[in-house]
Chains A and B, each alone.
Chain A
Amino acid sequence: MLKDYRKKYFNDLESSVASLLIFCIYFFIIGYFFNWLIIEGVWVGDASVCKSSTGACVSFLKEKLVFILFGVYPREFLIRPILGIIILILGWLHFTKKKNWNNLLFFKFLALMFIYILLLRGFNDSFVPTSKWGGLPLTLLLSIVGIALSYPVGIFLALARTSNQLIPRYLSIIYIELIRGVPLISILFMSSVLIPLFLPDGVTINKLFRAQIAIILFSAAYFAEVIRGGLNSIPKGQWEGAKSIGLNYFQIIRLIVLPQALVKVIPPTVNTIIGMFKDTSLVIIIALFDLMGTTKASMTDSKWLGFSVEAYFLCALIYFIICSKMGKFSKKVEQELQRGH
C-alpha cells in the first residue's frame, strides 16, 4: 500500500515537489485549525474565558447549538422536529435505492412531506405556529415542499415548451426565460411585497407561504430546463414506435417518454436540488429564520459577541454534510447511467 502512495504522489521530481508543496499547505491549514479548535479551544467556560483566549469558543457553540438548529421552536416539543429530521433521513435512504423506483415514488414523497409538516405543526394543545418554526427544520421544509411542488410544475412547463402547440409553448418560454433571467432575491422580494397587493381585503398569506411560493416558482423554471434536456434526448424512434402501436400523446408521454427522460437527467436534477437547498438560505433577507438566519441571530446575543467565525463554521459544516451527501448520490447515478445499468 505504501508503494501505491509513493507512485501516486512522488512519481517524479515535478510531482514530488508539487506534492510536498500541497502537503505543506494542508499541514498549515489543518495544523492551524487543530490548534484553534482543540489545543487553544475553549470547551468549558463562559464568554469572558473565550474572549481572553485566541482559540475557538466551543462553549459558545454548545450554548447556542439548540438555538442554531431549531430557532425559537418551543423546547418542550423539540422531539417533533428531531423526529421529522430522522424521518427525512430514512426517506432519503429509501428513495435513493434503485429498487424502490416505481410509479408510487412521488406519492410516497408527498406523504412524507405531509407527515413532516404535521409533525412541525402539531394539533390543539401542541400546536406550534409557523412563526416559531426555524433553523434546520425550516430549511428542510422549504426545500422539500419546494421540490415536491415545483418538480411537477417543471415537468408541465417542459412538456409545454417542447410541444408543437403555439400557445402553451410561448407561454412556457416566456415564463422560463423570465424566471431564469432574474436573481432569486428579486423573486423573493416580489412575492414578499407584491403578493399581498394582489389579494382581496382580509385575505392574508403568511410570510413563510410567500417565501415558499417564490421558491416553488423559481425552481420550477430550472427543473423545466433540466427535464426539457431529458425530453429532447429521447430518440425520435421511441415516439414513432409508440405511435405505431396506437398510443396517443398523453399515453406516450406518461408511459414511454417521461420514464426514460426523467431517469436520464437524474444527475442534473440532483444538482438543481442541491442548488435549491442552498438557495433557501436567502430567506434571511426577508427576515425568515432558517438555518442561516438562526446562525446569524445567535451572533447578536450581547453576552456572546464576536464569535461569528465559530457560528459560521458550524453552519457551513451542516450544509456541507447534507449537500455533499446529495452530490455523492448524483455522481453514483451518473456513473451507473454511463455504464448502462
Chain B
Amino acid sequence: MIKINNLNKWYGDFHVLKDINLEIKTGEKVVVCGPSGSGKSTLIRCINNLEQYQEGEVFVDSVEVQDMQTNIEKLRMDVGMVFQHFNLFPHLNILENLTIGPIKSKGLSEDEAKKRALNFLEKVKILSEANKYPDQLSGGQKQRVAIARTLCMAPKIILFDEPTSALDPEMVKEVLDVMMDLAKEGMAMICVTHEMGFAKNVADRIIFMDEGRIVEDASPNDFFENSTHSRVREFLSQIL
C-alpha cells in the first residue's frame, strides 16, 4: 500500500535521503532502525507530507503524496502518526484531544466521536483520565493518549517516530505493550525505534538505514542472525 520510488531529499546542500526504494504491503509491520542522522525520521515524514522531497515519488494507496491534486488532509487521515514528543493539545482535555480529529476532519457527530474516543481510551488503559489535561499526565500516559488519538481516525497504517525515546525507562514498557497489542490485532505500522526487543517480537521486516540509504531490508531472523553488512553488525554489537 505504500510505494516509494527513487526518493531523494536535500536539506540545502546536505543529501539526507539517497535513492530510497521501498514497498510496504497492507498489514505489514516494519521497523526502521539505524544510527542518528541516518534519515529514518525524515523518511517516514515524507510519507504523510510533513517533509517535502525534491526527487522521486511516494505513493500511498496509489495516490502520489506531493501531487498538486492530492487532498493531503484526506491522505493524513489514512496515515496516522505518533510523535516522539507526543504533541498533544494542552488547552484541550484528553477526551477533546481525541474527538477533535474525528469531528472536524471526518465529520462524525459529537456522540459518535465520543463513543469512539472512550472505546480507544479503554483500549490503551487510560479511561480514568478522560477529563484531565495533558500536563497532568505522565510521559507514558501522554504517549498512550497520542496513540489513542491516532486510532480514533481509523488509519490504515500508523507511523511511529521514535515513540519511546523521550520517555523515562519505567514508562517505555507500557507504551511498547500497547504497540504490541496493536500489531497483534493486525494494524500496519512503520516504526522508527531503537527498541530492538520490540523489533524482534513484532516486526515482519526490519529496515536498516545509514547515511540516507537503505542498507539492509530483511526479516528479523535474517537481520539479527545472518546479516552480511558490516555496518549492521557494528550497529547491533553496540546496541545489544
Contact = CB atoms under 8 A, between A and B. Distances in A.
Interface of A: 235, 237-238, 240-248, 251, 255-256, 259-260, 263, 340-341
A244 B80 contact: yes
A86 B81 CA distance: 52
Given A241-B83, A251-B105, A255-B100, A246 B89 contact: no
Nearest to A341: B135
B208 to A, nearest CB: 25
Nearest to B88: A241
A183 B150 CA distance: 51
Most B CB within 10 A of own CB, among A235, A245, A255, A256:
A245
B85 interface: yes
Contacts of B73: 246-248
Contacts of B50: 240, 243-244
A240 B83 contact: yes
A241 B105 contact: no
A238 B50 CA distance: 12
B83 A237 contact: yes
A247 B81 contact: no
Contact of A240 (B80, B87, B90): B87
A340 B81 CA distance: 28
Contacts of B149: 245
B76 A244 contact: yes
B153 interface: yes
B48 interface: yes
Given A237-B83, A340-B135, A244 B48 contact: yes
Interface string B117-158: 000000000000000000100000000001001101100000
Given A237-B83, A240-B83, A255-B104, A246 B77 contact: yes
Given A240-B50, A240-B83, A241-B89, A246 B105 contact: yes
Contacts of B27: none
B83 A246 contact: no
A241 B76 contact: no
B166 to A, nearest CB: 11
A106 B146 CA distance: 32
B91 interface: yes
A234 to B, nearest CB: 10
B89 A242 contact: yes
A340 to B, nearest CB: 7
Contact of A246 (B85, B88, B146, B153): B153
B15 interface: no
Contacts of B101: 245-247
B74 interface: yes
B76 A260 contact: no
B87 A251 contact: no
B83 A245 contact: no
B115 interface: no
Contacts of A240: 50, 81, 83, 87
Given A240-B50, A255-B100, A340-B135, A247 B105 contact: yes
Nearest to B89: A256
Contacts of A259: 91
Contacts of A238: 87, 89
9 interchain residue pairs of minimum CB distance: A241-B87, A245-B101, A246-B105, A244-B81, A246-B77, A237-B87, A246-B76, A246-B73, A248-B73
Contacts of A248: 73, 105
22 contacts: A238-B87, A240-B50, A240-B83, A241-B89, A242-B89, A244-B76, A244-B80, A244-B83, A244-B87, A245-B77, A245-B149, A245-B152, A247-B100, A247-B101, A247-B104, A247-B105, A248-B73, A251-B104, A251-B105, A260-B91, A263-B91, A341-B135
Given A240-B83, A251-B104, A251-B105, A246 B74 contact: yes
Interface in B71-100: 73-74, 76-77, 80-81, 83, 85-91, 100
A246 B88 CA distance: 14
B106 interface: yes
Contacts of B80: 244-245
Contact of B76 (A243, A255, A340): A243
A329 B21 CA distance: 58
B106 A246 contact: yes
A340 B90 CA distance: 11
Contacts of B88: 241
Nearest to A254: B104
Contacts of B150: 244-245
A317 to B, nearest CB: 39
A237 B87 CA distance: 5
A243 B81 CA distance: 9
Most B CB within 10 A of own CB, among A235, A240, A241, A251:
A241
Nearest to B161: A240
Contacts of A341: 135
Interface string B153-182: 100000000000000000000000000000
